[in-house]
A and B are shown apart, each in its own frame.
Chain A
Amino acid sequence: GEDVEQSLFLSVREGDSSVINCTYTDSSSTYLYWYKQEPGAGLQLLTYIFSNMDMKQDQRLTVLLNKKDKHLSLRIADTQTGDSAIYFCAEKATDKLIFGTGTRLQVFP
């Protein structure tokens, strides 16, 4: 079945790195995504990774994919207060996305 799980909360100090983890169940997913939701807004694509890759880096963001364990992570380097948001992991299942529960990241000074 399709299921994407994340931890609900993460709290980090400004300037530290944040690591948000996700596990998924559909091994046939071709793409995996990280979306960001800021307060009062819709979700916005942050980054994605193709399933034949194990790492993708984009400025302060690093995505790691472990297909064997069906584990996806998002690392945010030098976390800023503007990074405070809910982060959703998602996998592509045919024509639709299956979203995780979301991880609320709180950044404190």
Chain B
Amino acid sequence: DAGVIQSPRHEVTEMGQEVTLRCKPISGHNSLFWYRQTMMRGLELLIYFNNNVPIDDSGMPEDRFSAKMPNASFSTLKIQPSEPRDSAVYFCASSLDGGVSYNEQFFGPGTRLTVL
């Protein structure tokens, strides 16, 4: 398996532009997580899906952020309009949620976003 795939790996954009980050989870996994990592705030959970349904989006910073999972093999995180403070590394992770299992989360390589 190729693991969790994220694109693009790097994104540089100007303030006010729309940014779309993409994620392909590991085939067969039923949970998908979006994280943001910055030096100031560390690793933050933004939103997670189970069976394509958003379960907890309490970590989404504000209305400028939205996430979708139209099917089991694809998810997007959109920022519109982007701001310089959104600059961070965004990670997607997936897991097979099996109830009492230890549920290892597999992380993608991340997208480094720079908003000028």
Contacts and interface: CB of A to CB of B under 8 A. Distances in A.
A88 B91 CA distance: 15
Contacts, number: 50
B43 A99 contact: yes
A12 to B, nearest CB: 22
Contact of B107 (A43, A50, A102): A43
Interface in B93-116: 93, 97, 100, 102-110
B107 A95 contact: no
B93 A92 contact: no
Interface residues of B, number: 23
Dominant SS among interface residues on chain B: strand
Contact of A45 (B45, B48, B105): B105
B55 A43 contact: no
21 contacts: A31-B102, A31-B103, A41-B109, A41-B110, A42-B109, A43-B43, A43-B93, A43-B105, A44-B107, A45-B105, A48-B104, A50-B102, A92-B102, A95-B31, A95-B50, A95-B55, A96-B56, A100-B42, A101-B42, A102-B42, A102-B43
Nearest first, the 7 closest Cβ-Cβ pairs linking A and B are: A42-B107, A101-B42, A43-B107, A99-B43, A31-B102, A45-B104, A48-B102
